[in-house]
Structure formats: C-alpha cells, structure tokens
Structure 1
Amino acid sequence: MAPQTLYPRGTVKKIVKAHANRTLSKDVDIMIFLNYALFMQELINEATISSKASGDRNISPRSVNKVRETTLRKFKG
C-alpha cells in the first residue's frame, strides 16, 4: 500500500502553472507547501498574542482578522 501524501502534488503544480505562466522546477510544490505552513504558523502565533492582549482566552476570528494584513505583508516577498 502506498503512503498517503498530505497534498496532491500534481494539482498544486497545475494551479501554480496556470497562474504563473512560467516553467516550474521539480520541487516547487514542496516549497509552496512549506511556505504556506510557515504562514499559517505565524498567523496563529500573532493571533494568539493579539487575543491574549485583548483579554480573551481563545483565538477568535476577530483576533485573526486583526493580524491578517500584517502577516500577509511579511510573506509577500
């Protein structure tokens, strides 16, 4: 039985290729996945800090929305 992958590599490559109009390297989908994982980790960390600063016990959609723009700017490249 083949091991299950976390994401469909072919689908990611097709989507990126359709939007980039460039040739892609062999492992570009892995780099995209890792960048996404780092972005989500940073977003959760910043939302946690924001929610604790406002006195909440849990992360709320409001705290995620507060930090979304700054986190996106960090990862814009």
Structure 2
Amino acid sequence: MINVLFFAELQETSGHEKVTVDEDGLSVSELKSKLSTAYELSRLDQAMIAVNEEYSQEDTVVNSGDVVAFIPPVSGG
C-alpha cells in the first residue's frame, strides 16, 4: 500500500488527511490521476510532491510502503 498525505485545501476538499492506495509501481503522475478522479481534487496539479520526505518529480515511481505527500501552494497576506 502507498500512503498518501494531503495538506491544507487538499485535505479539506478530499475530506481526508491520509488515504492508502493498494497498488505498486505507479509513477507520481499516475497516482495523481487516480487521486484526482477518486477525490475530485482539481488542484492537485498545483501541489508540490514529496516521496518519503524528499521533494520529487512526476516521473518518480512509488511502491508499497512509500509515503507520498501533496502540499498545495501557500498564500498569505
């Protein structure tokens, strides 16, 4: 299982802080596509991605036991 963490607005939109995906060997891009559809996360493409606490790219492959975090851009004023 891949553990997925959502932060800020992604957490609010999905209704979850953490979800699991029961697949293995997905690219981050493929994972994003599945999550966008499953949780209606239209702004997932704007999020920074971390795999096992290291910033990663779309082509990074994630496997069972990995932790993927999606961190949306922060705005303030």
- Alignment TM-score, normalising by the size of structure 1: 0.26
Higher relative contact order (CA 8 A, sep 6+): 2
* Bigger radius of gyration: 1
Q: Specify which structure has the higher proportion of strand.
A: 2
Q: Specify which structure has the higher proportion of helix.
A: 1
